[in-house]
Amino acid sequence: MQELRKLLNKTVDEMSKKLAEMSGFLYHNPEIAGEEYKAMKLITEELEKNSFKVKRGVSGITTSFVAAYNCQSRGPAIAFLAEYEALPNLGHGSGHNITSIISAGAAIALSKISENLSGKILCIGTPGESKFNSKLLMVDDGIFNNVDVVMIAQAGDRHCVNPIFLANDGIQFTFLGKAAHAAAAPEEGINALDAVIMLFNSVHALRQQLKDDARIHGIISRGGEAVNIIPDLAVAQFSIRAKTRKSLNEIVEKVKKCARGAAIQTGARLKISFFEKSVDDYSGNEILINEYSKNLLELDETIDPEPKLSGSSDIGNLSYMMPTICPVVKIAPEGVGLHTLEMAQSSFSKTGTHGLITGTKALSMTGMRILGDTDFYNAVKLSFKKLKKNNQV
Q: What are the boundaries of each domain within the chain?
A: 2-165+279-389, 167-274
2-165+279-389: in CATH 3.60.20.10: no
pTM, full prediction: 0.92
Give the pLDDT band (50/70/90) at residue 221: very high
The pLDDT of residue 393 is above 90: no
Q: With 80 as the cut, is the pLDDT of residue 389 above it?
A: no
| CA–CA dist 46, 122 (Å, integer) | 14
Using the predicted structure, report yes or no on whether residue 154 has a pLDDT greater than 70: yes
DSSP, residue by residue, 17-60: HHHHHHHHHHHHS--BTT--HHHHHHHHHHHHHTT-EEEESGGG
**Which class in CATH covers the domain with range 167-274?**
alpha beta
Decide if pLDDT at 42 tops 70. Answer: yes
Signed CA dihedral, 135, 140, 142, 147: sign only = positive
Cβ 87 vs Cβ 94: under 8 Å: yes
DSSP 93: T
Residue 390: pLDDT above 80?
Answer: no
- Among the listed residues 318, 340, 281, the one whose alpha carbon sits nearest the alpha carbon of residue 81: 318
Q: What is the pLDDT of residue 391?
A: 61
